Amino acid sequence: MENVKGILDNYKMIYEYEFLLSFAITIIIETIILFIIVRKLFKINQRKISNSILLFLGVFCSFSTIPYLWFVLPFFIRNYIYYIIIGELLVLLVESLIYYFVLKIGYKKSFIISLLCNLASFLIGSLIIWRITLLRI
């Protein structure tokens, strides 16, 4: 029985490690993409939206969504495909609303920001995690 408990504890640690790694990757990727979109695509200068606000939002949006996506949603949705689809849509919606209210930009722009940030972090993060998993084998 103790072996089972040890295996479960080890699994939890692996999951938490993967969460922290994914969390850090997400914050870095989404913050970089946020800066690129706001400054280059929408051409909003620093006088209107400061770099500190963008940096705060890059971190805040991830802190507001990723823990729920990793630790709460799996209790309600067991099917992996549904979990990814519903989870990413919820993250997209919540982050769009945060961008909308904090940046005071239109909903279309806030939706585009959220979509591109999340798409980039999902694809790049999946590639990084896949690569790390291959190295473990």
* Whole-number Cα distances in Å, 16 to 9, 11, 60, 133: 11, 9, 20, 15
Residue 15 confidence (pLDDT): 82
Q: Which domain holds residue 50?
A: 2-136
- Please state the domain count of the chain: 1
In whole angstroms, give the CA distance from residue 84 to residue 41: 28
What digits encode the pLDDT tens for the residues 16-32?
Answer: 888 898 899 999 999 99
Residue 14 confidence (pLDDT): 81
What digits encode the pLDDT tens for the residues 74-100?
Answer: 999 999 999 999 999 999 999 999 999
Residue with tokens 């800066």: 35
Tokens representing residue 22 in the block: 């994914």
In whole angstroms, give the CA distance from residue 117 to residue 36: 10
